[in-house]
Copies of this chain bind each other. A is one copy, B any other.
Amino acid sequence: MAVIPPYLMFLGDAADQLAAKTAAGVVHWRPELCVGQLRLRGCNADLGIPDMSIEEAVAKGVKTLIVGVANRGGVMSQTWIDVLVDALEHGLDIASGLHSRLIEVPMIEETAAKYGRHLTDVRHPTRTFSVGSGKKRSGKRLIPVGTDCSIGKMYTALALEQEMSAQGIKATFRATGQTGIFIAGDGVSVDAVISDFISGAVEWLAPDNDPDHWDLIEGQGSLFHASYAGVSLGLLHGAQADALVLCHEPTRSHMRGLPDYPIPGIAECIAANEKAARLTNPSAKCIGIAINTHALSKEEANDYMLSLEKEFALPVVDPVKTGVGRLLENLP
């Protein structure tokens, strides 16, 4: 599932900035891959990169148009289809993070076939995987785990990759969700894999590597989320992680989408993830805590993080505000 850069970011008629958060994530982490944005009438999102027509993008060497936006109502409008067909006719591939598949829109599918262009639906893995073997692989692996979904696991993994690379440590981000796949250029949308093959897909994604190489594997969901814990556990087992980082947002009152389910305690969440991870890597260990302190004042954030440092005797960071450098000091 390779997506070839550089990219033209298609925002369509995104209702607001939130609808374009996938595209914004790609621009944040890989600005050098994102040559421009293409916005239609009524678009209320802005990635802060040059607006550009398809012709201009082609002239600037763009290879792939990225649909990194939620479409209104889940149905692709004719306006969108016209733009995507135009992109294919001008020689671009298309990669989409929509739930609906490009290949199921006849005009898009036919045009791509006619011009030999590539359509990639990153939410829908096309390859098959083996059942997980549980066999030890060479190289080192880290996976962020969370007290909940959407709590900073991808951000933490990418920040670690950046920091490790800056320090000359061999490191690769391994994407398991749509935004991550656009950022990495490939990966596996694990929540869309047939359930028998979750851990096998992750074994494939993060294969044998140099002994001093780190895979930073994007975490998904939470062992404590009643909807998605199966995905999280299969991912954790397939990762065979040496190191875990616990991600948490201190003001969240309940599990995302489940008003009756409280957020688990940090100690409980670390213990459960370490125990599960040790099935496939007996030396798995939580090496630090990453907090999203966005909703706290600077003082509150400092106090809170200090109190966690004391309680857990682990480095505590906010990847956005403090960076993740201190986590590296605690790597095994």
Contacts and interface: CB of A to CB of B under 8 A. Distances in A.
Interface in A228-260: 228-235, 237, 257-258, 260
A167 interface: no
Interface in A258-309: 258, 260-261, 272, 275-276, 279-280
A237 B229 contact: yes
A191 B199 contact: no
A199 B230 contact: yes
Q: How many copies of the polypeptide does the oligomer hold?
A: 2
Contacts of A40: none
A193 interface: yes
Given A132-B226, A229-B233, A258-B134, A196 B200 contact: no
A202 to B, nearest CB: 10
Given A133-B258, A134-B258, A226 B279 contact: yes
Contacts of A224: 279
A38 to B, nearest CB: 30
A279 B230 CA distance: 13
B195 A191 contact: yes
A230 B195 contact: yes
Interface of A: 131-135, 190-196, 198-200, 223-224, 226-235, 237, 257-258, 260-261, 272, 275-276, 279-280
